[in-house]
Amino acid sequence: MTGGKKPLVWAHRGASGEAPENTLAAFALAAEQGADGVELDVQMTKDGELVICHDETIDRTANAKGWIRDYTFEELRKLDFSYGKLQYEGEKIPTLEEVLDLLEPTGLTVNIELKNGICFYPGMEEKVVELVEQKGWKERVIFSSFNHYSVRKLAGLAPWSKRGVLYMDGPVDVPSYAKRLGAAAVHPALYNLQYPGFLEECEKEGLDINVWTVDEREYLKACMDMGIHAVITNYPKKAKAFFEELAQQ
């Protein structure tokens, strides 16, 4: 891992520092701002539609309450997901397919996080893989999940895919564990970078490190110095500009 190279910038839930998270507006803004990729969270409706939303419920981000798994797609689509941001009023919950279509011409990478750690959403992995294959997106996605059973299942369903082991808090020996699961990358929370030997272990296992959520300059710089592959940030425009600035020094 060579420090000093600009990390890729992936927009966390889209450019969610400015536009309502996980909406088409947030993904379009990320592309406009020059992000290299976006990260998004996939949930599944009662009638099996793959939709983009961080929480298992819509309480925090929409003008209604309840579990996504209890809503049909048609019901969810009537709701407002502008999340209190007035200029975005009327913004709808997007499907995964709509996000891929929106970003198709941009060349951006999509980090598809399967949010199936609380609700298991039977059949979700199969649906996601089928969609990605059908859309011709195999080279442009990386899957991740806090549910490592799901990461392992994806290895079987889509051996062609890149997968990241997503985690937080302090599990030990993550790099060798991730390697055993067949992952190409680890997706630690920012604070996990502090563990002694972590960078060296990732290098030994040949794993990329894609870190979340990195917004402050101090930590962006640290990521660049450490040779991190991608930072997942709420402010892609600022991160891109700052890396550029650092590279000029």
Name the site residues for Mg ion (rule: CB under 5 A).
41, 113
- Alpha-carbon distance of 231 to 214, in angstroms, equals 6
Catalogue the active-site residues: 12, 54
Shortest approach of ligand G3P to residue 195 CB, angstroms? 18
Which residue's CB is nearer to ligand G3P, number 22 or number 45?
A: 22
Q: Which residue is nearest to ligand G3P (CB)?
A: 212
- Alpha-carbon distance of 218 to 139, in angstroms, equals 32
Shortest approach of Mg ion to residue 185 CB, angstroms? 14
Which residue's CB is nearer to ligand G3P, number 75 or number 222?
A: 222
* 88 burial level (CB within 10 Å; 0-12, 13-18, 19+): middle
Query: Alpha helices of 1-117 — where are they, by DSSP H?
Result: 24-32, 73-77, 96-103
Which residue's CB is nearer to ligand G3P, number 51 or number 166?
A: 166
Shortest approach of ligand G3P to residue 54 CB, angstroms? 6
Residues contacting residue 87 through CB under 8 Å, at least 6 positions apart: none
The residues that touch ligand G3P, with contacts defined as CB under 6 A, are 12, 39, 41, 54, 113, 144, 166, 187, 212, 232
Q: Which residue is nearest to Mg ion (CB)?
A: 113
Number of Cβ atoms within 10 Å of the Cβ of 132: 23
CA distances from 5 to 15, 60, 104, 121 (A): 23, 37, 27, 39
Shortest approach of ligand G3P to residue 125 CB, angstroms? 16
Which residue's CB is nearer to ligand G3P, number 28 or number 38?
A: 38
